[in-house]
Amino acid sequence: MEWHKEEFTISDDRHRVDINVVSKLLAETPWGHRRPREVVEKLIPRSLCFSLFRNGSQIGFARVVTDGTVFSWLSDLVIADAYRGMGLGRWMLDCILTHSETAATQFVLQTGSAIGLYEKFGFKKSGKLMTR
């Protein structure tokens, strides 16, 4: 499935994931900075992946681990610094939450820095986690 907005595209096709770009993006985050490329390679086939592209170049990524029925774990939502503050994270999150494989599921995630973003989508803090 693909979504389009101006020069940006979000795709759930895991074959389009650029492992090198995703590894670099995650290396710049507090939660993924110690995650080796080999681990990222193993995550992709086991996740529902969402890649954000600008004119064909990957600039963002998120993934969901789900049973497709009742539960989804949202992880690794990251956008390149140069594209933050443009509403792309909100757009990605909207695509993720309305995707046919996840729309009916309860979502769980863990964040320390983006609580406000997730609260706008109905997530509630529950201990160290946020749920929806």
The pLDDT value given to residue 124: 83
What token pair was written down for 14? 């895991």
Averaged in consecutive runs of 10 residues, what is the pLDDT profile of the chain (132 residues)?
Answer: 97 96 91 84 95 98 96 94 94 96 91 78 76 74
The pLDDT value given to residue 103: 93
The pLDDT value given to residue 12: 98
Number of domains present in the structure of the chain: 1
* CATH number for the domain harbouring residue 36: 3.40.630.30
What is the β-pairing status of strands 57-66 and 106-109? Answer: unpaired
Radius of gyration of the chain (CA): 14
What token pair was written down for 71? 């539960």
pTM: 0.89
The pLDDT value given to residue 114: 76
The pLDDT value given to residue 38: 93
User: Domain range spanning residue 104?
Assistant: 2-131
